[in-house]
Structure 1
Amino acid sequence: MPGVKGCYYRRLGTDGDYQIFDSTDYTRSNWDPEIQYGSPPLALLTKLIEELSADSGLRVGRLGLDILGAIPVRPVRVRAWVERPGSRVCMMVGEMSADRVVARVTAWLIAISDTTDAASDRYPPLAEGPAQPLPATFLGIGGYFDALHWRPQQADGAAAVSWFSPLAHIVDTDPTTALQRLAAVVDCANGVGAVLDPREFFFMNTDTVVHLHRLPTGSDFALRARASVGPDGVGVTTGQVFDRDGFIGTSAQPLLVQRR
């Protein structure tokens, strides 16, 4: 796997309840080089939520990223807090600001217990095959995709499949968890499941919601996704999420669809 040295964000300091981070080139979106792709903000705010929930006996069952405005590629302020406390079910929120609030992640955390004897997966594991060529519209665009190892798979059904591995740290050289690494790629489901030509249509997701019946492992993740487009400029991309061990959850993204 190719290696990239670097990170999505560099720590600059603190200001009260806020941590301040500079945004690197690896956060730049393919839609506009002046704004951030959705996955790095999700990964950073997931990191804050995991740090806040450490030793709580709870783990993330749902992550929901709401993009509240264009996220600029420049210093951002982030914070996290407990919105709804609880010993069995708890909601935590992470927020990113750049002059105003531009992104928010809402996480539901659920108490863990031993249900090994009852565990089940809805879908069988996916095996990675030979990588197919990247879509022409993604070649040489840089930014976020310079820190991503993307391996499209041979199409063999109604939904497309790609394997991804993030190649950058989330913050500086901080260790990253598997959940943070998944958060750093899961927004790509919109690209994997695209049914429109991006040279003719603009289809940007307003949010990304991920449900996880099992925490991810490792650094390699497969997204099997497909978009549906309505007659009035609104679409939805839905997908299934896998790691090397098998199916771990689902994703969904509503889309703003406009002709270029």
Structure 2
Amino acid sequence: MIDCHYRRVGTDGEGELFDPTDGTRSNWDSGIQHGSPPLALMTKLIEELAAESNLRVGRLTLDILGAIPVARVRVRAWVQRPGTRIAMLIAEMSAARPDGTQRAVARVTAWLLGTSDTADAASDRYSPMIEGEAVPVPHSWHGATGYLDTVDWRRQPDSGGTGNEAWLSPLVPLVDSEPTTDLQRLAMVVDSANGAGAALDPEEFMFMNTDTVVHLHRLPVGGDFGLRARGSIGPDGIGVTTAELFDRHGFIGTSAQTLLIQRRS
């Protein structure tokens, strides 16, 4: 039974050690991790590092630097650009090579900004996304095990050309039974925008993302997130998926992903 994405196993110098569970396994390849759990884990370390500041995350950028194995990982976070109004924090995940040396497999760069009261000027670019009755088949990987077992995925009927809509909710904690913040819950599903907005049949093509960039004008609230996503495919094997992101209270931000497109032989 999958009851979390990672188990904390100690420290190694400046890094923290985690063992991924089967709930991190990618729908593309069961030997590697889906992008969302690593993004969420590194977001957790960034939030913990910034906990005493008056700053909150405005942007998260996940760069996948190599295949992330379903094996013990080392994660560390540091302040790259200190500041009281604007700061950059970075978290990096590494895994062991066959010879035991570490290689970086993923990195999250976060811009954190100082908060102030702008409630009287707040505005949203999009109206709230309302959840309706889900269609029977939630996604093109229906029946796949691993990460997809840890997310409740409710695909919505065709929205008429504005993008594919789906509501996603994490079903397990991120690390053991430790508290999971709402931002971490969003990170646990947002990499799935590529699947939600798929413009290609995964039986015919692979379209794996190399990154996920999330901009948030408002922090997410709760554990249910709506994605309105659409993929665009170029003529030379490169694509992009963009998405609008919602919680139950309305529009919270956007995401974008760069895709490597490969035809299955």
TM-score by length of 2: 0.95
When residues 136 and 205 of structure 1 are mapped into structure 2, their CA distance, relative to the original with a 3 A threshold, is closer
In the alignment, the residues of structure 1 paired with residue 123 and residue 138 of structure 2 have an alpha-carbon distance, to the nearest angstrom, of 34
In the alignment, the residues of structure 2 paired with residue 105 and residue 191 of structure 1 have an alpha-carbon distance, to the nearest angstrom, of 21
Partner of 2:110: 107
Alignment RMSD:
1.0
Q: Does 1:140 align with 2:147?
A: no
The CA deviation at 1:251 is 0.3
The CA deviation at 1:136 is 6.4
The CA deviation at 1:133 is 1.9
Unaligned runs of 5+ in 1: none
Determine if contact 2:16/2:75 at 8 Å carries over to the other structure: yes
The CA deviation at 1:140 is 1.6
In the alignment, the residues of structure 1 paired with residue 106 and residue 240 of structure 2 have an alpha-carbon distance, to the nearest angstrom, of 20
The CA deviation at 1:15 is 1.0
Q: Which amino acid aligns with 1:66?
A: D
Partner of 1:15: 12
In the alignment, the residues of structure 2 paired with residue 157 and residue 96 of structure 1 have an alpha-carbon distance, to the nearest angstrom, of 40
* Large movers: runs of 4+ above 6 Å: none
Q: Which amino acid aligns with 2:156?
A: Q
Partner of 1:76: 73
The CA deviation at 1:138 is 1.5
Partner of 2:255: 251
Q: Which amino acid aligns with 2:32?
A: I
The CA deviation at 1:103 is 0.3
Out of 120, 127, 152, the position equivalent to 1:149 is 152
Determine if contact 2:151/2:171 at 8 Å carries over to the other structure: yes
Output aligned runs, 1:149-228, within 5 Å.
149-158=152-161, 159-228=163-232
Determine if contact 2:2/2:23 at 8 Å carries over to the other structure: no
In the alignment, the residues of structure 1 paired with residue 172 and residue 45 of structure 2 have an alpha-carbon distance, to the nearest angstrom, of 17
In the alignment, the residues of structure 2 paired with residue 211 and residue 174 of structure 1 have an alpha-carbon distance, to the nearest angstrom, of 26
TM-score by length of 1: 0.97
Cα distance per residue 1:74-99 (max 9 Å; x no partner): 11000000000010000000100002
Cα distance per residue 1:166-196 (max 9 Å; x no partner): 0111100001110000000000100011110
The CA deviation at 1:16 is 1.1
Unaligned runs of 5+ in 2: 97-102
Partner of 2:128: 125
In the alignment, the residues of structure 2 paired with residue 23 and residue 35 of structure 1 have an alpha-carbon distance, to the nearest angstrom, of 10
The CA deviation at 1:5 is 6.1
Length, aligned pairs only = 257
